[in-house]
Amino acid sequence: MDWDWKVFWKVVGILFVVMLVFSALGFLFGWITLPIKKGSAGNVEEQFRTGYELYESLQATAQSVCTAEKAYNDEIDSTLKSQRQSQLLAYETNYARLSADYDAWSRNVFEGGIVRPADLPARAPSLSEMKAQSCGQ
């Protein structure tokens, strides 16, 4: 039996081209179906949950800041006052981190950028705004 190398390389070449075409089509259809996936009920539900969790974390942290401020202002012992100030700084730092997380989620078009709940703000409120809302200050 005589092996025909020309036919073999033609078949390999055709298979390679077919593989490239299918890879390109897969990539293209992946981008075409992306809006459908991002608008799906499952993704919208996940983004709503994430947005509300982040916003509620901001509210809870603002309430903790209010409590820490009250404890700091009521403290008369200088050593304990220093501890209260450290606690207050930790809560304020945590609020800044959560605020950055919320803003990143909200700006990301693949997360909350398109499917953010209408009752959530586009950017995280400042700590003073959230304290006024959460603590009545």
For 17, other C-beta atoms within 10 Å of its C-beta total 10
The whole-number pLDDT of residue 1 equals 55
CA within 13 Å, CB half, 30? 6
Average pLDDT, integer, range 71-80: 90
Residue from 56, 57, 66, 58 nearest 88 by CA: 66
Judged by average pLDDT, the poorest of 6-10, 82-86, 95-99 is 6-10
The C-alpha atoms of residue 27 and residue 33 are separated, in whole angstroms, by 10
pLDDT of residue 111: 74
The pLDDT assigned to 65 comes to: 95
pTM metric for this prediction: 0.71
Q: How far is CA 16 from CA 22, 87, 89, 136, in A?
A: 10, 63, 61, 68
pLDDT in tens, 3-39: 777 888 888 899 999 999 888 877 777 666 656 665 6
The pLDDT tens digits for 59-73 are: 999 999 999 999 999
The domain ranges of the chain are 56-137
Token output for 132: 């006024």
For the beta carbon of residue 137, count every other beta carbon within 10 angstroms.
12
Rounded to the nearest integer, the mean pLDDT of the chain is: 86
d(CA 77, CA 82) in angstroms, rounded, equals 9
pLDDT at 23: 85
At residue 119's C-alpha, the angle toward residues 117 and 122, to 5°, is 75
Between CA 14 and CA 21 the distance in angstroms is 11
Residue-level pLDDT at 88: 94
Instruction: Provide the greatest CA pair distance for the chain.
Output: 101
Reply yes or no on whether the pLDDT at 137 is more than 80: no
Average pLDDT over residues 70-82: 90
Is residue 81 within 8 A of residue 72, CB to CB? The reply is: yes
Confidence of residue 99 (pLDDT cuts 50, 70, 90): very high
